Amino acid sequence: MTEAVRVIYWNIGEVLGSLTVYLTALAAMLVLFYGILRDIATWRKGRPESRLDALGSRASEYLVQSLGQKKTMQDRRPGMMHALIFFGFLGLFIGTDVIAVEEDFTIPLLGADAGKILVGDFYRAYETILDAVGLLFVAGLIWAYWRRYKTRDNRLHERQYDREALLSLIFVGVSGYFIEGLRIANQTIAGVPVYTQSWAVQSFVGYGLAVIMYAIGLGNGSSIGLGLHVGLWFAHTIVSLAFIAAIPYTGLRHLVYTPLNAFFKRTRPKGALAVIPDFDAEIEKDEPQLGVATLNDLTWKQRLDLDSCMSCGRCQSVCPAHAAGANLSPKFLITKLADMQRGDSVTMNDGSQKMPVADTSGRGAFDAIALLEQGFYDENEIWSCTTCGACIEECPALIDHVDLVVDMRRNLTMIKSEVPSGVKRVLDGIERTSNPWRLPQRERANWAAGLNIPTMAEKGEVEVLFWVGCAPSYDDRSKKVARAMAQLMQQAGVDFAILGGEECCTGDPARRMGEELLFKQQAETNVQTLGQYKFTQLVTTCAHCYNSHQNEYVQFGGKAGVDYQVVHHTEFLAQLVQDKKLIPVTPVNQKVAYHDPCYIGRYNDIYDAPRELLSSIPGIELVEAPDRNRQRATCCGGGGGNVWMESWGDKKSNVIRLEQLTVEKPDTVAVACPFCMVMFEDAAKTSGVDETVARQDVAELLLKSVTVS
């Protein structure tokens, strides 16, 4: 028996094989790098944006997302498919590099066999591992082809290069096995056929094919078998390297740019929108540049986002506006801009093609076209977004869809003054009366009548500032939640006060609607008011108020995390129960489904506290919306100002979410945000479950249990 050994370039010739591989590889690399440098030049046309802070965490994120496939694996089925392809390709790439190192990078002075590793036991293991890795690769590719062209997942759309790319990779994977099978069936070492050697079986796939080759007369030195081996070897080599060269010119660009996008991901809090650079100076200009109206208005990072998109449709599959039938698809929000950035015909939301009108064609020709005026986006698409962040949570490319939507709204609101009537009413209300409900500021504390709650002006210093928010101050249903919260704090002996007439809207609706100047004014006013008093914690029942104080007011001089802590009422009440300052004793015999508000859930990772609080109440059976809870919870539909706007789709988002929450037939839907309460109150009436499914805040449920009847 001969020793297990790999003969490089068998049947090809060392000189011809080396020249073919390295000259083709050199050409492929030149084409590849030209395409990458061209794309970098395109990104650099974008407006400046700093993304070089926290280099250590950025490098870590790069590795976790690229090698660890963290985001990709969040959606298990397509994630597993992608992982098979990625790790299979990576394994085969490493295996090919091992061959190159052995053949061309040994040290001649140490002898002909110096540095040889593809011999003996190592070669046996090498062949087995590569055959197994190759099977994973091919299996993943076939799965991808079947999913895209047979089962036809509706979140995917056809692109010209997709089929060619998949078929090319399948050819690379399958042809590699046939080359191996033909080699085993025809190769001899020292006059001994490899086919007869026990170690040849280690290449279990190739050996199986070699058995077939022998049976049909393509083995044992057959001229046809040898010729077929040569032809497949050259085809395999050229197609493999052509695939690499094509990466920056097709949708395959995400192979390079998605990991790069992970490195440059935002490091600001998830719930904080980006501030407009030099905003004060910009608004003083005769023609200020605010928001996004054309490709020229994008930052370089937003341009990188466009090239990083996989068009996988995960964002679309979780978008509440899309589910409701609105025109919005977060996927097409990005891909339409990506098409224009490359100078291509644009694939619209319905799959049709549309060519922008410009003086010239090609890359960069469409940078200055007006996106809305030419009909690539419409009012429905831009305003139906609830800014819930589900698209960002799902996106394996770490694209910031919400930032782009808000940037488009900024241009419409602050430059063009083209907004829906509902938006105009809200903005006017905040500007004139400091609340979206357009009610008098003097009525802001009317909800507290009879509770004897002190104000900060009266006390000056307290342990807890109860930030009530606009909805609990003016909306009749939400007032009950504010009263329940105040009563619980009184029973727990908490030293707290409210701002009363000094409290103003945080400006969250204004910011999400694109009116950054109004938000800035509200933020600065509230920061100044808070600075007059001393308190340890700011507690609020509103998820949107929580997010503004916790994540965005620091952009305007806020002292959260320095002078005081911002605490959501679910966390605060859970701590009071844990500290035995509130003891739930009276059973509340209800099956309860908890809804995760987007602005404390996805944006601030508050998931456990509300569930722990509900579980501490005797008699409550806590259930979840199947597959749509915690970070994958569907939005109630009220974010982004949509609580004040008419529904944009065929079916309301709040009705869809209520249906998800009632799958387990709960008696009560528990909420932890007044916006969610408003939306579910409407959904219950619309869907006919007003009398059968109660809607209660977690504070109201707790109050039932700690109050002695």
For 539-598, the pLDDT digits (tens) are: 999 999 999 999 999 999 999 999 999 999 999 999 999 999 999 999 999 999 999 999
Same domain, 473 and 557: yes
pLDDT in tens, 330-348: 999 999 999 999 999 999 9
**Distance of CA 124 to CAs 6, 115, 629, Å?**
10, 17, 48
Cβ(352)–Cβ(677) below 8 Å: no
At a CB cut-off of 8 Å and minimum separation 6, what does 570 contact?
A: 600, 606, 609, 610, 613, 672, 698
pLDDT attached to residue 104: 67
Backbone angles phi, psi at 594, to 5 degrees: -95, 135
Backbone angles phi, psi at 49, to 5 degrees: -160, 130
Same domain, 572 and 585: no
pLDDT greater at residue 696 or residue 15: 696
Percent of the chain exceeding pLDDT 70 equals 97
Residue 272 forms part of a structural domain: no
Same domain, 79 and 206: yes
pLDDT in tens, 201-244: 888 998 899 999 989 999 888 999 999 999 999 999 999 999 99
Residue 505: which of 460, 478, 467 has the closest Cα? 467
Pair type for strands 464-467 and 620-623:
unpaired
Give, as one character, the DSSP assignment of residue 350: T
Mean pLDDT of the region 170-195: 89
How high is the mean pLDDT of the chain?
91
- Between 28-37, 54-63, 384-393, 412-421, the lowest mean confidence (pLDDT) is in 54-63
pLDDT at residue 297 greater than cutoff 80:
yes
Output the DSSP codes for 300-346: HHHHHHHHH-----HHHHH-HHHHTT-S--HHHHHHHHHHHHTTPPE
Only one residue has tokens 């995400």, namely: 254
How far apart CA 101 and CA 668 sit, in angstroms, is: 66
**Distance of CA 185 to CAs 194, 226, 589, Å?**
7, 10, 74
Same domain, 85 and 232: yes
Same domain, 238 and 303: no
pLDDT attached to residue 457: 96
CB burial string 369-399: b at 16+ within 10 A, e below = bebbebebbeeebbbbbbbbbbbbbbbbbbb
Mean pLDDT of the region 640-659: 90
Same domain, 536 and 662: no
Cβ(322)–Cβ(316) below 8 Å: yes
Task: Please report, for the domain that includes residue 559, its CATH number.
Answer: 3.40.50
Residue 1 forms part of a structural domain: no
How far apart CA 629 and CA 631 sit, in angstroms, is: 6
pLDDT at residue 191 greater than cutoff 50:
yes
pLDDT greater at residue 147 or residue 391: 391
Backbone angles phi, psi at 455, to 5 degrees: -105, 160
Residue 707's pLDDT band, with cuts at 50, 70 and 90, is confident
pLDDT attached to residue 109: 39
Residue 6 forms part of a structural domain: no
Mean pLDDT of the region 621-629: 94
pLDDT attached to residue 65: 85
Task: Please report, for the domain that includes residue 380, its CATH number.
Answer: 1.10.1060.10
Burial class of residue 362 (count of CB atoms within 10 Å of its CB; 0-12, 13-18, 19+): exposed
pLDDT at residue 107 greater than cutoff 60:
no
Q: What is the pTM of this model?
A: 0.90
pLDDT attached to residue 473: 97
**Last residue in a domain, options 539, 560, 577:** 577
Residue 43 forms part of a structural domain: no
pLDDT attached to residue 111: 42
Same domain, 348 and 453: no
pLDDT at residue 108 greater than cutoff 50:
no
Residue 45 forms part of a structural domain: no
**Helix H or strand E encompassing 521:** helix 516-530
Tokens read off for 42: 């395109």
Same domain, 95 and 128: yes
pLDDT at residue 122 greater than cutoff 50:
yes
Output the DSSP codes for 82-129: HHHHHHHHHHHHHHHHHHHHHHHSS-GGG-TTTT--SBHHHHHHHHHH
pLDDT at residue 5 greater than cutoff 90:
no
Task: Please report, for the domain that includes residue 80, its CATH number.
Answer: 1.20.950
How far apart CA 396 and CA 392 sit, in angstroms, is: 8
**Last residue in a domain, options 577, 609, 627:** 577
Backbone angles phi, psi at 617, to 5 degrees: -85, 120
Residue 4 forms part of a structural domain: no
How far apart CA 68 and CA 62 sit, in angstroms, is: 9
Look at the chain and report how many structural domains it folds into: 4
Residue 16 CB coordination number (10 Å): 12
* Structural domain harbouring 220: 14-38+54-261
What sign results for the dihedral spanned by CA atoms 684, 690, 692, 698? Answer: positive
Residue 469 forms part of a structural domain: yes
How far apart CA 655 and CA 661 sit, in angstroms, is: 10
Same domain, 398 and 465: no
pLDDT greater at residue 283 or residue 553: 553
Same domain, 236 and 91: yes
pLDDT attached to residue 115: 56
**Last residue in a domain, options 230, 261, 292:** 261
Same domain, 606 and 561: no
Residue 199 forms part of a structural domain: yes
Same domain, 223 and 309: no
